[in-house]
């Protein structure tokens, strides 16, 4: 563990001066300088003033000047404060940056091992893993780009076949096959794009929480949620369920807006209070 932290901290300080690559321009003293703030946060981290360092890192994050080094430092700071759910969350964000991906993956494995000592690991269904891969890891853009390339390539091949090489049936079949794959990629991309506002990926960062069958804290919980668990938030399904529950006997919807409808990695679905978690955003760096 000690070697892991030393390596991580060394990497962070080496990249500190390149963490916020901004255009070169003069800044007034009153303006917020993320590089200066980041260096100050690193100094406080070295002095083991973790809460003070975290305040500075949060200020940088809120300013929008994010980087892999920043998220790694935030994850390390939360881990030193033994807030492992938040630490895992920021390591997950750091993994999305190429310059911090390798170290972030080491940190994620280490933090997952620590969390598994506190909680019961849950099964991950293959169908949900595939669902997350399509919606949150890849998204619609790669499929739409692939469709654009394949549709153009297929049209070119068929054009050559029709005009110059009509005797070569292989060219014909290749053109139609590529066009078909392009159409399928386009359908997948358009579908994922249409669903982009429906689903969100959440990570629970509090110590524990509960999932209920109905949006009522007094109802019997159906599943316990612990720090580090991930789940899919379904906005559309929430509205459908609320409509189905309205008017149902023995169900009183006091404040449905305070609840979210979630699906856990093991397939369990239900209602959870809209608190204690963070949305895992794709920063696309």
Buried b (16+ CB within 10 A) or exposed e, 75-94: bbbbbbeebbbbbbbbbbbb
Quick one: pLDDT at residue 122? 86
Which of 11, 86, 18 is closest to 50 using CA atoms?
A: 86
Give the residue, 254 or 43, on which the prediction is more confident. Answer: 43
Which of 106, 22, 83, 25 is closest to 207 using CA atoms?
A: 83
- pLDDT of residue 13 exceeding 50, the answer is no
Quick one: pLDDT at residue 247? 65
Quick one: pLDDT at residue 229? 93
pLDDT band at 30 (very low <50, low <70, confident <90, very high): low
pLDDT band at 16 (very low <50, low <70, confident <90, very high): very low
pLDDT band at 10 (very low <50, low <70, confident <90, very high): very low
pLDDT band at 79 (very low <50, low <70, confident <90, very high): very high
Q: Give the whole-angstrom CA distance, residue 281 versus residue 60.
A: 17
- pLDDT of residue 81 exceeding 90, the answer is yes
- pLDDT of residue 120 exceeding 90, the answer is no
Quick one: pLDDT at residue 15? 44
Q: Give the whole-angstrom CA distance, residue 120 versus residue 117.
A: 8
Quick one: pLDDT at residue 117? 85
Quick one: pLDDT at residue 83? 93
Q: Give the whole-angstrom CA distance, residue 214 versus residue 148.
A: 44
For 171-210, the pLDDT digits (tens) are 888 889 999 999 999 999 999 999 988 999 999 999 999 9
- pLDDT of residue 260 exceeding 80, the answer is yes
Once rounded to an integer, what is the mean pLDDT over residues 124-153? 92
- pLDDT of residue 9 exceeding 90, the answer is no
Average pLDDT of the chain is 84
Quick one: pLDDT at residue 190? 95
Nearest-5° angle of CA 36, CA 37, CA 41?
120
- pLDDT of residue 284 exceeding 80, the answer is no
Contacts of 150 (CB under 8 A, 6+ apart): 178, 179, 181, 182, 185
Quick one: pLDDT at residue 2? 45
């Amino acid at each position: 563990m000690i070697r892991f932290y030393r390596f991580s901290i060394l990497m962070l300080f080496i990249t500190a001066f390149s963490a916020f690559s901004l255009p070169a321009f003069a800044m007034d003293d009153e303006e917020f300088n993320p590089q200066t703030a980041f260096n100050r946060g690193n100094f406080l981290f070295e002095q083991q003033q973790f809460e003070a360092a975290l305040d500075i890192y949060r200020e940088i994050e809120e300013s929008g000047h994010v980087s892999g080094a920043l998220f790694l430092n935030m994850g390390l700071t939360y881990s030193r404060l033994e807030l492992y759910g938040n630490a895992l969350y920021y390591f997950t964000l750091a993994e999305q940056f190429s310059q911090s991906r390798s170290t972030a993956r080491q940190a994620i494995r280490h933090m997952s091992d620590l969390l598994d000592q506190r909680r019961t690991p849950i099964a991950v269904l293959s169908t949900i893993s595939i669902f997350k891969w399509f919606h949150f890891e890849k998204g619609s853009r790669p499929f739409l780009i692939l469709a654009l390339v394949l549709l153009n390539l297929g049209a070119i091949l068929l054009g050559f076949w029709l005009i110059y090489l009509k005797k070569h049936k292989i060219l014909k079949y290749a053109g139609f096959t590529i066009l078909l794959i392009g159409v399928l990629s386009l359908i997948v991309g358009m579908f994922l794009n249409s669903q982009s506002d429906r689903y969100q990926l959440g990570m629970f960062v509090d110590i524990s929480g509960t999932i209920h069958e109905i949006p009522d804290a007094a109802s019997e919980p159906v599943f316990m949620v612990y720090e580090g668990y991930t789940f899919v938030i379904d906005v559309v399904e929430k509205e459908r369920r609320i409509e189905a529950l309205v008017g149902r006997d023995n169900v009183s919807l006091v404040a449905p807006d305070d609840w979210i409808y979630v699906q856990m990695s093991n397939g369990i679905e239900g209602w959870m209070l809209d608190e204690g978690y963070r949305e895992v955003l794709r920063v696309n760096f």
